[in-house]
Amino acid sequence: MSKLGTLGARLHRGEVGYDFVGNRKIWYGVSILITITAILGLAVRGLNMGIEFQGGAVFTTPKTSVSVAQAEKYAQDSSGHDAIVQKLGNGTLRIQIASIDTDESDQIKTDLAKDLKVDAESINADLVGPSWGEQIANKAWQGLGIFMVLVVIYLAIAFEWRMALAALVALIHDITITTGIYALVGFEVTPGTVIGLLTILGYSLYDTVVVFDSLKEQTKDITKQTRWTYSDIANRSINSTLVRSINTTVVALLPVAGLLFIGGGFLGAGMLNDISLSLFVGLAAGAYSSIFIATPLVADLKEREPQMKALRKRVLAKRAQAAAEGELVDAGAVGEPQDAATAVVGPRAGAAPRGGGRGPATGKRR
C-alpha cells in the first residue's frame, strides 16, 4: 500500500506517467470491439426478461430436498410453459413461470404441492401482470432520458460542451456494455436490474468529472505558453487522478463482488444477482471509460480548435528547436524556466536534462 501511495504521489506530481491520450486509438479500438460484441449479443440472444416484464407467476416453496432440475421438470409438465427455478439459501425453491393467469396458477400450485410432497397452503404464489412491467420499463426509459439531458446541461455549464459530449459517449458506452453482458450471460432482467443500471450512471460520471475538473484547472491560460499541448495536459490530468480512480473503483467493487459471488452464487439469492451483476459490470466499465474514453475524446475534440492547432504547432516547433540544441524534449519538460504564465500547466516535478542533470550536450546551462 505504501508503494501504491508513493506511485500515486509521483503520478500526481508528473514525475512518472503513462501516455493514455497518445495511445487513444488503441483504447477506441478496444471499446469499439467490446461494444460491437455487446450489440451482437443483444441482437442474437436478446435480453432474458423477467416475469415482471412479461407477466406470470412466482411460486416460493417451503424447504425441500427436490433438486432444481427435477422441480423445473415438474413446473414445466404442470404448466406447459418454460420455468425458471432457483434454489435459495434456506433450501426453498423460487419457481417462475411466465404467461399464465390466475386459474392456471391455482392448478399449478396444486400440482407442485403433490410433486414436491408439501402442503399446497405452504406454497406462496405471486401473480404479476405484464402491464406493471411495462410501466416500470417506461419509467426507467424516462428516468434515463431525463438523467442524460440534465447531465449534458450541467457539464456544458460547469465545464464545456465538448466535455459534456464526451461524458455522454462514455455513459452510452457503459450502458451498452452492461446490457450486452446481460444478454450474453443470460441473466434475467428484473426491476433490480433496472435499479442497478440507473445506479451505475452516477458512479460512471464520478471519475469522469474528477478528471475533467483537474483538466479544466490545468488548462487555464494554456495558449500563453509554448511548453504543453492540450493533449499533454489531458494526459497529465488522467495520471494525476489515476490512483484515486483505481482506489475508488476497487472499494466500490469489493462489496458488489461479495453480493454477486457470495450472496448470489453461494446463497442463491436471485435479486442480489440482478442488482450486483449490473453494478459490477457497470462500475468496471465506468472506470475504464473515464480513463480511456472520455478524456482522450475531449483532447481529440479540443485539438480541432484553431487556437489549439496553433498552440500545438508552436509547442512542436519549440521542442524541435530544443532537440536541435541538445536539450531533453518530451511531454514532461523542456529546457526553459517556468514563468507565471506556465505555472498552471508547469513541468513535471524533478524533470532534468539527460546526463543526470549535467545540462545540455553543449555543456552550457540555461
Is residue 190 a part of any domain in this protein? yes
Q: Strand (E) positions, the chain?
A: 48-49, 56-60, 83-87, 93-98, 124-128, 188-189
Alpha carbon separation from 344 to 31, 240, 294, 347, 348 (Å, rounded):
32, 14, 22, 9, 12
Dihedral over Cα of 226, 231, 237, 240: its sign? negative
108 with 147, same domain: the answer is: no
**Does residue 151 share a domain with residue 67?**
no
Report the CATH number that the domain containing residue 229 is assigned in CATH.
Answer: 1.20.1640.10
Task: Note whether 208 and 247 are same-domain residues.
Answer: yes
- State residue 353 phi and psi, 5-degree precision: -65, 160
| pLDDT tens digit at each of 366 positions of the chain | 556 556 556 665 656 667 888 889 999 999 999 999 999 988 888 888 877 777 788 888 888 888 888 888 888 888 888 788 877 766 788 888 887 777 788 888 888 888 888 888 888 888 877 676 677 778 878 888 888 899 899 999 989 899 999 999 999 999 899 888 888 887 778 777 888 888 888 877 888 888 898 888 888 888 888 889 999 999 988 888 888 888 888 888 888 888 777 765 555 555 667 778 888 888 888 889 988 999 999 999 999 999 999 999 999 988 888 888 775 544 443 333 333 333 344 444 344 444 444 444 444 443
Residue 164: predicted pLDDT: 92
φ, ψ for residue 276 (rounded to 5)? Answer: -70, -35
Query: What is the domain extent for residue 78?
Result: 56-128
Give residues with Cβ within 8 angstroms of 272, minimum separation 6: 259, 260, 263, 264
**Cell digits of residue 327:** 536539450
Residues 170 and 280 in one domain: yes
pTM over 0.85: no
In the block, cell 434456506 appears at 90
Q: Does residue 77 sit in the same domain as residue 201?
A: no
- Half-sphere exposure for 231 (CA within 13 Å, toward CB): 22
Task: Measure the CA–CA gap between 281 and 178, rounded to whole angstroms.
Answer: 6
Whether 311 maps to a domain, the answer reads no
Q: Which of 284, 297, 288, 283 is nearest to 164 (CA)?
A: 297
Same-domain status, 180 and 263: yes
Given a contact cutoff of 8 angstroms between Cβ atoms, the answer to whether 289 and 173 are in contact is yes
Q: Residues 6 or more apart from 66 whose CB is under 8 A from it? A: 74, 93, 115, 116
The pLDDT assigned to 360 comes to 44
20/66 same-domain check: no
Three cell numbers written together for 151: 447531465
Report the number of distinct structural domains present in the chain: 2
Instruction: Give me the residues paired with residue 93 across strands.
Output: 87
Verify that 38 and 78 share a domain, yes or no. no
| Residue after which a domain boundary falls, among 128, 160, 180 | 128
Residue from 166, 207, 357, 197 nearest 278 by CA: 197
Q: pLDDT value at position 351?
A: 43
Look at residues 128, 91, 96 and name the one whose alpha carbon lies nearest to residue 112.
Answer: 96
pLDDT of residue 242: 84
Q: Cell numbers at residue 208, please?
A: 469522469
